[in-house]
Chains A and B, each alone.
Chain A
Amino acid sequence: MARRTEPPDGGWGWVVVLSAFFQSALVFGVLRSFGVFFVEFVAAFGEQAARVSWIASIGIAVQQFGSPVGSALSTKFGPRPVVMTGGILAALGMLLASFATSLTHLYLSIGLLSGSGWALTFAPTLACLSCYFSRRRSLATGLALTGVGLSSFAFAPFFQWLLSHYAWRGSLLLVSALSLHLVACGALLRPPSLAEDPAVGGPRAQLTSLLHHGPFLRYTVALTLINTGYFIPYLHLVAHLQDLDWDPLPAAFLLSVAAISDLVGRVVSGWLGDAVPGPVTRLLMLWTTLTGVSLALFPVARVPTALVALAVAYGFTSGALAPLAFSVLPELVGTKRIYCGLGLLQMIESIGGLLGPPLSGYLRDVTGNYTASFVVAGAFLLSGSGILLTLPDFFSCFSTTTSRPQDLVTEAPDIKVSLPKEGLEED
């Protein structure tokens, strides 16, 4: 059978996009709508906000930390078995969680088990997507990631409805059944008939070179700080609104509003990142600063209109910074070290995702409301954006990619979501 050296850029690839769409919906949509469950857990276990926040933060951290493992396994076994296993693990975690009698059970079942399930689904899918697309890779990835926004919008009120009919145990059981669809999505990931990509320069050599790369390390620190504050509203907004005497259903709807503006922000930012000349770092700093400011303003807003406006602003700016966060990386480390760099970045920034929500919960327990939590989250984002100032080429007039013409053709449209396999194909 003849083997292609180029991705088909279509055909079955669009089915893979569909599968990736549903997967990102089921992984990140569920994770983001967990703020709705948060209130129930606090009431059911009588525990403090800090301890309950660990559930989601462990899940987020394991998902990010385990992504390199997912990519590595899928290189060895192909994406299909890995994603299907991940789906089963994620659903199993939720199933076990519905029988939980203490918070520790939830840490282990949702945090560890479901988190590792999610780690095994998302990274291999994005890698598979890159096998099917090269010219239209960013479009395909962008379309796939819209699943996140749409599901956060739909899931928050849906979970609230489930909770009002089945309480948290029954709702977790049904979310587990929902997560089982990840297995079906995994079944769609037909391995493409491509020639194997040879690895470049050995992973260990890349790793050591990255660890000595000053700008990369500073960027990692910046993203870790940003990651610390980033997830806090998704977890604590519903609880904060209930503290302000909002009913549960309108509070869940506010989360959906933030999710929609997140979606719009991603698309606009992706387009803007292409259209505006100069380093992408500046745009990233702009969005990060705005996100930090809107977070810090949350405690000040009491009137519903102000809260809705802030939710829209937060959603838009945080969605806008997400695609750019991946785009800056190839400008810093070059496409050859992208695979290693991305894996390392995700592992280190997961620390921020792990510690952020419990810190916010702890501040809430100590002060009695979420004012300090949101202000501190905003502060983390602002300090992260401050560090971005120290990156090279921040103040230059043109981006580094223009200085390497041979990279320009294949690299420019792909910058938005740089994926592990990209650097390998160049050689």
Chain B
Amino acid sequence: MRASPGLLAAGAPTPQCSLLLQCLLATARRSSADGSAPDLPFTSLPLGEEMMANNFSWESHNISLTEHSSMPVEKNITLERPSNVNLTCQFTTSGDLNAVNVTWKKDSEQLEDNYLVSATGSTLYTQYRFTIINSKQMGSYSCFFREEKEQRGTFNFKVPELHGKNKPLISYVGDSTVLTCKCQNCFPLNWTWYSTNGSIKVPVGVQMNKYVINGTYANETKLKITQLLEEDGGSYWCHALFQVGESEEHIELVVLSYLVPLKPFLAIVAEVVLLVAAILLCEKYTQKKKKHSDEGKEFEQTEQLKSDDSNGIENNVPRHRKNESLDQ
């Protein structure tokens, strides 16, 4: 669609009377009304019927592009409930604004209706309004400005992501464990848990006190599994249901039997026993050797004393003095 300054260029599929109504409104009103970004030069508000009737909140997002933008600009938007959405792209170029071709696409489908184009100075503005009611309307919405090169801005609408644990949860046979899934700032309508049997996802039923699902806050869910068996290990999925889509997260559970740590334990115990035995045996051996050599030494010492005694009193005197000083 070619841009003409000041006039709106609207697409086709609305009923005839509302198109007429829009034309009348366009020429009549000058100021922008509730909900839209007040600084954008759109003179009127072509509200579709659904938008007038609902009381959903408004989400407004803006992307700025220039002729020199080398990479496509993307904006990620997290949405959990139905909303009215107002997307605006602005394109600044030094060339002729009339020569720019403006289009909107959802995913790869071209959109025909409900977008406006307007220009001020050297900037081209385009605005697209729609309502997101369910998951069909979620996805990527892109605005394209075509001169020689095509500049693109993309708005990605996604449901909130869930946080589980990236490392596997390890537990033992007979124990109970709690798998947790949480969501940062969101409040899902419903939580469900699935376990995988091979490649099939089987919902976890609340059976026989084995599985208990509860959560203390609305933004988290806990699956408590009691009396674990080795077959209970594997992948578990937690699903969060929103009005506008679903989100899921994967948690890995590993159930070990006691034999797994028992083997290294027994190996280390055996090593300690060997060590102690070696130390004690070594000592006994060196003591035996010492005893033999000591017996030899004692024999020599008794010989020495016998010869000392026969030398006389002089040897005794220094010994007495030494004892006196020690007694202090």
Interface residues of A (CB under 8 A from B): 1-2, 84, 164-167, 169-171, 173-174, 176-178, 180-181, 183-184, 187-188, 190, 406
Q: Tell me the complex Cα distance, A178–B256, Å.
A: 21
Cβ 8 A contact of A166, one of B260, B283, B298, B328:
B260
Known: A177-B265, A184-B279. 7 other contacts (CB 8 A): A1-B298, A169-B261, A170-B261, A176-B265, A184-B275, A188-B279, A190-B283
Of the candidates B264, B268, B301, the one whose C-beta lies within 8 Å of that of A180 is B268
User: Is the CB–CB distance between B172 and A169 below 8 Å?
Assistant: yes
Kindly state the separation between the CA atoms of A180 and B270 in the bound complex, as whole angstroms. 10
Query: Which of A1, A166, A187, A188 contacts B261, CB < 8 Å?
Result: A166
- Which chain B positions have C-beta within 8 A of A173? 261-262, 265
Instruction: Given the known inter-chain contacts A166-B170, A184-B272, please indicate yes or no for A174 contacting B280, CB distance below 8 A.
Output: no
A177/B264 in contact, CB under 8 A: yes
- State A200–B276 Cα separation when bound (angstroms): 36
Query: Is B313 in contact with chain A by the CB < 8 A criterion?
Result: no
B274 to chain A, nearest CB (A): 9
- A166-B167 in contact given A176-B265, A177-B269 (Cβ < 8 Å): no
Chain B minimum-CB-distance residue to A172: B261
**B103 in contact (CB, < 8 A):** no
Q: Which of A1, A165, A188 contacts B170 (CB 8 A)?
A: A165
Contacts of B268 in A (CB 8 A): 174, 177-178, 180
Interface residues of B in 294-313 (CB under 8 A from A): 294, 298, 301
Residue B192, interface by CB 8 Å: no
Contact residues in A for B283 (Cβ distance below 8 Å): 190
Q: Which of A164, A171, A180, A188 sits near B272, CB closer than 8 Å?
A: A180
B272 contact set on A, CB distance < 8 A: 177, 180-181, 183-184
Can you name 27 A-B pairs with beta carbons within 8 Å?
Answer: A1-B298, A165-B170, A166-B170, A166-B261, A167-B171, A167-B256, A169-B258, A169-B261, A170-B260, A170-B261, A171-B261, A173-B265, A174-B264, A174-B265, A177-B264, A177-B265, A180-B268, A181-B275, A184-B275, A184-B276, A184-B279, A187-B276, A187-B279, A187-B280, A188-B279, A190-B283, A406-B328
How far apart are the CA atoms of A174 and B266 in the complex, in Å?
9
Which A-chain residue is minimally distant from B277 (CB atoms)?
A187
Report how far A418 CA is from B303 CA in the complex, Å.
42
- The binding surface of chain A is classed by DSSP as helix
Q: Smallest CB–CB gap between B325 and chain A, Å?
A: 11
Q: Which residues of B contact A188 (CB under 8 A)?
A: 279
Given the complex, which residues of B lie within 8 Å of A183, measured CB to CB? Answer: 272, 276
In the complex, A166 Cα to B328 Cα: how many Å? 63
Q: What are the 3 A-B residue pairs with the smallest beta carbon separation, nearest first?
A: A170-B261, A177-B268, A167-B170
List of B residues within 8 angstroms of A187 by Cβ = 275-276, 279-280
Number of chain B residues whose Cβ lies closer than 8 Å to a Cβ of chain A: 24
Task: Tell me the bound Cα distance from A406 to B328 in angstroms.
Answer: 10
The distance from the CB of B177 to the nearest CB of chain A, in whole angstroms, is 8
CA distance in complex: A180, B274 (Å): 12
The smallest C-beta distance from B271 to any residue of chain A, in angstroms, reads 9
A166 to B301, CA, bound (A): 62
Cα A169 to Cα B170 with chains together (Å)? 10
What chain B residues lie within 8 Å of A180 (beta carbons)? 268-269, 272
Query: How many angstroms from the CA of A173 to the CA of B257 in the assembled complex?
Result: 13
* C-alpha spacing A183/B273, complex, angstroms: 9
C-alpha spacing A142/B108, complex, angstroms: 73
List CB contacts (< 8 Å) of B209-233 with chain A: none
Looking across the interface, which residue of chain B has its beta carbon closest to that of A15? B279
Q: How far is the CA of A206 from the CA of B205 in the complex (A)?
A: 71
B279 CB contacts on chain A under 8 angstroms: 184, 187-188
Determine the chain A residues whose CB is within 8 A of the CB of B298 once the complex forms.
1
In the assembled complex, the CB of A323 is this many whole angstroms from the nearest CB of chain B, namely 30
Which of the listed residues B167, B172, B262, B272 has the most CB atoms from chain A within 10 Å of its own CB?
B272
Chain A neighbourhood of B260, CB < 8 A: 166, 170
CA distance A180 to B271 in the complex (A): 10
Contact B256 A166 (CB under 8 A): yes
Question: Which residues of B have CB within 8 Å of A181?
Answer: 272, 275
Provide the residues of chain B in CB contact with A170, threshold 8 Å: 172, 256, 260-261
B256 — which chain A residues lie within 8 A by C-beta? 166-167, 170
Minimum distance in angstroms from B262 CB to a CB of chain A: 7
Q: Could you tell me if B328 and A1 are in contact, using CB atoms closer than 8 angstroms?
A: no
Q: What B residues does A84 contact at CB under 8 A?
A: 276
Residues in B with CB closer than 8 Å to A176 are 265
**Interchain CA distance A169-B276 in the complex, whole Å:** 27
CA distance A167 to B275 in the complex (A): 28
Complexed CA–CA distance, A406 and B325 (Å): 12
- Interchain CA distance A183-B275 in the complex, whole Å: 9
CB distance from A81 to the nearest CB of B (A): 12
Q: Which residues of the other chain, B, contact A2 by a CB distance below 8 angstroms? A: 301
Q: Which of B169-192 contact A (CB under 8 A)?
A: 170-172, 175
Chain B residue with the shortest CB-CB distance to A171? B261
Q: How far is the CB of B170 from chain A (nearest CB, A)?
A: 4
Contacts of A171 in B (CB 8 A): 261
Residue of A nearest to B268 (CB): A177
Which residues of the other chain, A, contact B301 by a CB distance below 8 angstroms? 2
Residue of A nearest to B167 (CB): A164
Tell me, in angstroms, the Cα distance from A183 to B171 when the chains sit together.
Answer: 31
Least CB separation from A406: chain B residue: B328
- Report Cα–Cα, A177/B269, bound state, in Å: 6
Complex alpha-carbon distance, A184 and B271, angstroms: 10
Residue in A164, A176, A183, A187 with the greatest tally of chain B CB atoms within 10 Å: A187
With the chains together, A206 CA to B141 CA distance in Å? 87
Of the candidates B172, B265, B280, B328, the one whose C-beta lies within 8 Å of that of A167 is B172
Residues in A neighbouring B264, C-beta threshold 8 A:
174, 177
* Residues 153-169 of chain B, each 1 if its beta carbon lies under 8 Å from chain A, else 0: 00000000000000100
- Rounded to whole Å, the gap between the CB of A252 and the closest CB of chain B is 14
**Distance A184 CA – B258 CA, assembled complex (angstroms):** 26
Nearest CB of chain A from residue B165's CB, rounded to whole Å:
11
Question: For residue A101, which residue of chain B has the nearest CB?
Answer: B175
Q: Which residues of B contact A190 (CB under 8 A)?
A: 283
A170 to B261 Cα, complex, angstroms: 5
Cα distance A176–B258 when bound, in Å?
15
Q: Which residue of A lies closest to B295 (CB)?
A: A1
Least CB distance from B276 to A in Å reads 5
Q: Using Cβ atoms and an 8 Å threshold, which residues of chain B touch A165?
A: 170
Check if A174 sits within 8 Å of B261, measured CB to CB: yes
A84–B269 alpha-carbon span in the complex (Å): 14
Residues of B within 8 A of A1 (CB): 294, 298
Nearest-CB distance from A23 to chain B (Å)? 14
Return A312 CB to nearest CB of chain B, in Å. 29
Cβ of A166: which chain B residues have Cβ within 8 Å of it?
A: 170, 256, 260-261
